[in-house]
Amino acid sequence: PVAYRTSLLFFCIASLADIDPMYQYSLDWFINLFVRAIADSEPSGDLPVRLDSLNSYFQYFLYRNVCRSLFEKDKLNFSMLLCASLLMGYNRMNADEWRQLLTGGVLLNADKAPRNQCKDWLDDKVWEA
């Protein structure tokens, strides 16, 4: 469970270079961060508790370290990418749902579009957008 989640996190931060080429993190940096997280996370004699602690702490530690190097405008994108990577990795969100979230619905026939039920506070142009 730790190796799988850690690999999801690595490929998530590797994809940050698509946002800005400046956001490139080496495997060595990632491994060093992981080793440090192993040392700093809560120890436990119970293996499932230890694995859960390591997963939680490393995700937090990675997020904190990556966010330090991001522009403010990209931090929310990173948070969303991190959540989506984990959800897709654990089959809690599929590619179609991710695409829908990113692009919104595509209406092929405008005549079948639902009518604006909130005309008193929502302009028709905004509704149609």
Residue 17 CB partners (closer than 8 Å, separation 6+)? 23, 24
Domain annotation covers residue 38: yes
Q: Per residue in 76-106, pLDDT tens?
A: 999 999 999 999 999 999 998 998 888 876 6
The CB density around residue 30, as the number of other CB atoms within 10 Å, is: 18
Domain annotation covers residue 93: yes
Domain annotation covers residue 125: no
CATH of the domain at 56: 1.10.8.1220
Domain annotation covers residue 44: yes
The CB density around residue 20, as the number of other CB atoms within 10 Å, is: 13
Domain annotation covers residue 124: no
Predicted structure pTM score: 0.79
Residue 56's pLDDT is 96
Domain annotation covers residue 111: no
Residue 8 CB partners (closer than 8 Å, separation 6+)? 85, 86, 89
Residue 80 sits in which domain range?
Answer: 2-104
Domain annotation covers residue 66: yes
Domain annotation covers residue 84: yes
Cβ contact 6:58 at 8 Å: yes
Percentage with pLDDT > 70 across the chain: 95
SS3 at position 99 = helix
Q: Give the total number of structural domains in the chain.
A: 1
Q: Per residue in 17-62, pLDDT tens?
A: 999 999 999 999 999 999 999 999 999 999 999 999 999 999 999 9
Closest among 30, 63, 57 to 41, alpha carbons compared: 57
